Structures are given as structure tokens and as C-alpha cells.
Amino acid sequence: MKSLEEKIDYRDIKKLQQIIKKIPEKEKIVANTLGKIITILGKYMVKMQGYSILSTVLKREIREVGKENAKFLMNFLKIKEPKEEDIKLIMNLAALLLGLKLKVKNGKVVATECPFYKTLKEYKEPFMCNACVEYNKGIAEELTNGKFTIKRVHWLFEGDKYCVFKPVKL
């Protein structure tokens, strides 16, 4: 690759892709940028319409995204009737797709890093956290045919060392 001091043709898409591949932590940059955009939109939507409208959108629309992703992962993994271990597997895969960093602590899988955390702290607006919860509720509800949802019991935004969800029977 040419050094950045040399002229790079903006139309050379392959070269541009090579440059992008070499950017360190590009996934964090993408997540941070998207997180900021979504947080700003959420913050102004709350200001203009009120939290109840935003809450309705979160519950209805973002849960649907979670349900769609649960179906996709079940099909991809060829799981017809998910058992408890399948549900945990799919929940963890979905978390990784969101960009969360997972670790096992005391036998439980916890989210130790969130790609949106920096933005959440900067804007002091937990909109993305609430979207994450609703997304995961959609996954849990889809996988259990509406018998279970999830509840957040530890939260990075509130100063915990990690985020943890627990299943709750509906």
C-alpha cells in the first residue's frame, strides 16, 4: 500500500478497502459512530415526543429485530426446537453480533465491554442500553415462544463491571 503522503485515487475501491482493513479497531470506530448517531436521534426524539413514544418504539420495533435475528440464527444453526443450551448459545451469538465482549465469570457469561459504552457515558443517555435490552427481550421471547423474557440485573452504565441479564417467566 502506498504511504498516505502519496496520492491515492479515490476511485480505486480495492485500495480503499485495503486501507480500511488496516485501520486498527475499526469495529470500535464503526460502533462508536453508529452509537453516537442513534443516541443523538434518541435524545432528540425524547425531547420532542416524550419518552413514552420512544419506549413504544423500543418495545415494538427493536424487539422485532431481535426476533428476526433469533430466527436467522436458529435457521443458520439448524435448530428447530431450541433447548436451554441452544437458547444460551443463540443469546451469546446475538451479543457478539452486537459487538459486545463476553467473558465467563463464576460460570455465567457476562458482557464486559460494550461498543456503545463510551457514547453512553459521553451523552449521559442510556438509550442504546434500553435498545439492547429490548433487542435481547425479542430474542428471548422468540426462542421460548413467549414464555420467557429477560431482565437486566447488572449494568455497565450504572457503574457495574459488566452487564448481566436473567430470564424472567412471562
Pairing of strands 108-113, 148-154: unpaired
Domain count, the chain: 1
Query: Can you spell out the DSSP letters for 40-58?
Result: HHHHHHHHHH-HHHHHHHI
Rounded distance between C-alpha atoms, residue 66 and residue 60, angstroms = 10
pLDDT at 28: 75
Residue 55 lies in a domain: yes
Residue 158 lies in a domain: yes
CATH number of the CATH domain containing 117: 3.30.1380
Instruction: Report helix angle 26-49 to 127-143, nearest 10.
Output: 100
Residue 160 lies in a domain: yes
pLDDT at 76: 93
pLDDT at 138: 94
pLDDT at 106: 85
pLDDT at 3: 53
pLDDT at 135: 92
Residue 151 lies in a domain: yes
Cα–Cα distances in angstroms (integers) from residue 132 to residues 3, 9, 77, 127, 139, in the given order:
40, 39, 23, 9, 11
For the chain, 170 residues long, give each residue's pLDDT as a single digit of tens. 455 556 778 788 888 888 888 888 777 777 778 888 888 888 888 788 887 877 787 788 999 999 999 999 999 999 999 998 889 899 999 988 888 889 988 888 899 888 888 888 888 888 888 889 999 999 999 999 999 999 999 999 899 998 998 889 99
Range of the domain at 49: 32-169
Residue 13 lies in a domain: no
